A and B are shown apart, each in its own frame.
Chain A
Amino acid sequence: MSDNTKPIKNVVIRFAGDSGDGMQLMGDRFTATTAMVGNDLGTFPDYPAEIRAPAGSLAGVSAFQIQFSSQDIFTPGDRVDVLVVMNPAALKMHIQDLRPGGTLIANKSNFQKKNLKLAGYETDPLTDDSLNDFMVLDVEITELVTKALEDMKLPLKTVERTKNMFALGLTFWMYGRPMEPTIKWLNMKFKKRPELVEANVRALKAGNHFGDISEVFSSSYTVAPAPLAKGTYRNITGNYALGLGLLTASEKSGLPLFFGGYPITPASEILNQLSLYRNFGIRTFQAEDEIASIGASIGAAFAGSLAVTASSGPGIALKSEAMGLAVITELPLVIINIQRAGPSTGLPTKTEQADLFQALFGRNSESPIPVISAISPSDCYYTAYEACRVALKYMTPIIVLSDAYLASGSEPWLLPNLSDLEKIEVKFTESNGETFKPYLRDEMTLARPWAIPGTPGLEHRIGGLEKEDGSGNVSYDPENHQKMIELREAKVAGITREIDPTELYGEPIGDLLILGWGSTYGSIRTAVKRLQDEGKSVSHAHVRWVNPLPADLGEIVLKYQKILVPELNRGQFLKLIRAEYLVDAKGMNVVRGKPIRSYRIEEVANEMLESGR
């Protein structure tokens, strides 16, 4: 390492290249190492929808972003400090996010005519002065790794594949990260192919060494460990956390977990993950379609399992009829929607929060379902757990909203203490000798009893036809229908008693409240922190429960001159807030398939603060 090192607080790096260039792997290794040196971090992979678009094409660019810091951070960052590009297409797709003065590292070897043309460049941007705003470091990575591996006599393809390790080694040098964890990891990954271990380790070291000897960098940087709360941490993505949350709920409730799924991006990972856990006794079922996957889950719920189904927007649309059945039969069922950009197939790998109205209203008739949203990758764990707990306690289907950003984004996670989680108590009904009434309700929660097949004396029938209050018999009586609709609504509304008081970040009274839900948490918090540091009267409130809304929210919104609601849709939560509380909230509605950028929130907030009432 250079002895000329400068401490800095915060860095955002983005790696971009062809989908075959191993950018995700590189990102994962950088993340693991960064976690170990104790920085707070946030990551966000950005994949193309195509599995393998032609090499060098714009459609085939895959990227991974990480922000790491010596302070508490909440997002993968929005303005990139260091951009690593493996080819012209990656440069074209990502250069607009590099901040002026930022560092660009480009694999010069790949900037030949053919690749330039594929990316739509007439002239070589590395030489035509178009990148003068940045600090450009063009490195002949391909040549350098070829040289480093010369004596190994490996096939060209294998040599080419180590380019990412070179780039990784170089970025490790820039930020003084150790190489040992990666070397250890390579030894494990290629246990049976020692020549690949050797090749990759050599490339990694060559990259690192290049930093040392090249005169281009006047200094490297150090980012000190962040003052995180004491304890044991791991890095975790949102989807993985969801899976663990479901598993935890199964263990804590003593109920077997049944998961009905159907492959769809970006929800499939949950199906894949849970399918690994056969030794936990988990029953995953890949059904013939989305409808069958929720149908089987409802069947499993009827039979006494903790039943879960997951999908993404278009798949959720297919499930909506069955969701109505779960509503009228009042069975506990967790429905997870990993939202992606739409409509229709839309941008299947990109993020959006535009299924909020679908979750709230996307069924025929009055069909209330509680909706809870996760606010960060690690929060997905608690959200899944909470959803299971509430579904079981209230005998109701429940929707969990996550999105593509949370699903694959990651952050450090302080491991939970399982005994601190709120208890999940489940009691199946048993016969008391009297005629069983499947729709008699608990006085407080209005939940109906859970009487599962196989229990003597409780034989009963449920179904999609309207139920008579109490007996559960089919009823066409108008008064009864009114009553049942109101009862189902009241049951869901009563879930407010499960919601903690809304946490306010900032003063309880002020000029501006920024109100969000779901995955915009990190961006909003980052923006509000900076605004507060500038002395502005701005507070942040964030809801996880969208239905029902927290009981105290109506009071809170009245305490601010102005309200801003940033979200990744055209103003769905905004309309809800305006309708619910009759306040003149303003929206900030971004639908670019990417997380909202915190500096944009700052800009909009400043405009609102500056303009008079």
Chain B
Amino acid sequence: MSQERGQKLARQDFISNQDVRWCPGCGDYSILAQTQKSLPDLGIPRENFVFISGIGCSSRFPYYMNTYGFHTIHGRAPTLASGVKLARPDLSVWVVTGDGDSLSIGGNHFIHVLRRNIDLNIVLFNNRIYGLTKGQYSPTSELGKVTKSTPFGSLDTPFNPPAVALGAQATFVARSIDRYPSHLQKMLGRAHGHKGASFLEVYQNCLIFNDGAFRLLTEKETKGDHVLELENGKPMIFGKEKNKGIRLNGFKPEVVTLDGDYSTDDLLIHNETDKNIADVLTNFTYDSEFPTPIGVLFVAKMSTYEDRLDEQIKTAKEQLGEGNLEALIRGADTWEVE
């Protein structure tokens, strides 16, 4: 179906004619829906969106989006996305990936694409399990995790994706949760709005192989005490009763109760551009003492790889003149045979 030019797009315009084949109740459905709802607001013609994925449950995503899409190879989506973006910087290029896809087999590409700061939006569906291969532990599964391939418990410490991203010098790091639709939409918008490589981790429930991995963060009774929703410039308050906060004791963060001893004035104020704060926040992830932060953890302004490349091309043309093929082929040392 071709859309009328200039007419505002709607969610419907982004739904492809393919049947969605995730398990009923999978967290992926929500992420798909929030994406389809968010894109019309970005003001970009539909044909300029490209969704690129690797392999895994999440990576079926492009088939369900009525945009340009490429379902590639396990772990390699960032490489293809880089090629698309470098060839056509005018396109809005999205990478859809999972914890195994991007942090195990694709770990190398993941860190390098962030380091280069190519203007891509990378959405990592983190369900802490291999779903498509039916339930092996992943690089984000917690230590000791019992799965099909680790019947006696996993032996390796998990990766914390935002920490990896920060370590790789990402210029935008954010987190959201499949069950937080409006938050997720907001984060998708922020990721898109950032010029440079944006990394958005989305906690996603795999109800077949790792059901309830994020229960504390999504159930009504517990989520208040376990989720810290970050807002730039605001003190870090959380708790069911909004009576807890994060305070820095020297360099050490601690959870305090706002009960007279401490007030909001004592709390740490979120500053998205402060990498030290981002470091503090990412360390909460596997620490049961702290709530899980969601929102924009870190953002930095930096020129993109493709802009630098364009700049080099421009400068070279100015300094050397537009390339002349015949002259190049001739070279410096020619001779004539009569």
Give every chain A residue within 8 A of B27 (Cβ-Cβ).
none
Give every chain B residue within 8 A of A325 (Cβ-Cβ).
72-73
The proximity string for B residues 193-219 relative to A, scoring 1 for CB distances below 8 Å and 0 otherwise, is 000000000000000000000000000
In A273-329, the 8 Å CB interface with B consists of: 277-281, 283, 285, 287-289, 291-305, 307, 321-322, 325, 329
Whether A450 sits at the interface, judged by CB under 8 Å, is no
Give every chain A residue within 8 A of B47 (Cβ-Cβ).
453-459
Contact B337 A322 (CB under 8 A): no
From residue B190, how far is it (CB to closest CB) to chain A in Å? 23
B residues contacting the other copy or chain, number (CB 8 A): 66
With A296-B79, A461-B16 known to touch, is A258 a contact of B108 (CB < 8 Å)? Answer: no
Binds B, one of A101-109, A231-239, A501-509: A231-239
From residue A458, how far is it (CB to closest CB) to chain B in Å? 7
From residue B95, how far is it (CB to closest CB) to chain A in Å? 11
In B301-338, the 8 Å CB interface with A consists of: 309, 312-313, 315-317, 319-323, 325-326, 328-331, 333-338
From residue A226, how far is it (CB to closest CB) to chain B in Å? 8
Contact A279 B72 (CB under 8 A): no
With A303-B84, A453-B84, A456-B45 known to touch, is A295 a contact of B73 (CB < 8 Å)? Answer: yes
Contact A279 B337 (CB under 8 A): no
Kindly state the separation between the CA atoms of A456 and B338 in the bound complex, as whole angstroms. Answer: 55
Contact B325 A258 (CB under 8 A): no
Contact A459 B86 (CB under 8 A): no
Partner of B62, one of A258, A303, A454, A461: A461
Whether A433 sits at the interface, judged by CB under 8 Å, is yes
Contact A460 B82 (CB under 8 A): no
Contact B71 A464 (CB under 8 A): yes
Whether B146 sits at the interface, judged by CB under 8 Å, is no
Kindly state the separation between the CA atoms of A235 and B338 in the bound complex, as whole angstroms. Answer: 17
With both beta carbons as reference points, the residue of chain A lying nearest to B2 in the complex is identified as: A457
Contact A278 B312 (CB under 8 A): yes
A-B contact count (CB 8 A): 212
Kindly state the separation between the CA atoms of A129 and B323 in the bound complex, as whole angstroms. Answer: 59
Kindly state the separation between the CA atoms of A280 and B321 in the bound complex, as whole angstroms. Answer: 9
From residue B289, how far is it (CB to closest CB) to chain A in Å? 36
Whether B267 sits at the interface, judged by CB under 8 Å, is no
Contact B335 A296 (CB under 8 A): no
With A292-B112, A300-B83 known to touch, is A454 a contact of B88 (CB < 8 Å)? Answer: yes
Give every chain A residue within 8 A of B1 (Cβ-Cβ).
435
Partner of A285, one of B62, B83, B335, B336: B83
Give every chain B residue within 8 A of A258 (Cβ-Cβ).
83, 86-87
With A35-B333, A321-B73, A474-B18 known to touch, is A298 a contact of B87 (CB < 8 Å)? Answer: no
Contact A283 B309 (CB under 8 A): yes
With A232-B334, A233-B335, A287-B79 known to touch, is A459 a contact of B68 (CB < 8 Å)? Answer: yes
Whether A462 sits at the interface, judged by CB under 8 Å, is yes
Give every chain A residue within 8 A of B50 (Cβ-Cβ).
303, 453
With both beta carbons as reference points, the residue of chain A lying nearest to B312 in the complex is identified as: A278
**Top 6 A-B pairs, shortest CB-CB distance:** A299-B83, A295-B79, A463-B71, A280-B323, A296-B83, A278-B316
Question: Measuring CB to CB, which residues of chain B are less than 8 angstroms from any residue of chain A?
Answer: 1-3, 5, 16, 18, 45-50, 52-53, 55, 62-63, 65-73, 76, 78-88, 90-91, 108-109, 112, 309, 312-313, 315-317, 319-323, 325-326, 328-331, 333-338
A-B contact pairs, 22 of them (CB 8 A): A35-B333, A244-B328, A247-B328, A260-B83, A278-B312, A278-B316, A283-B86, A287-B82, A288-B112, A291-B76, A297-B83, A299-B52, A299-B86, A302-B70, A302-B83, A303-B87, A458-B47, A459-B46, A459-B47, A461-B62, A463-B62, A473-B18
Besides A285-B86, A461-B69, 7 more A-B contacts (Cβ < 8 Å) are A233-B336, A247-B325, A431-B2, A435-B1, A454-B88, A455-B47, A460-B69
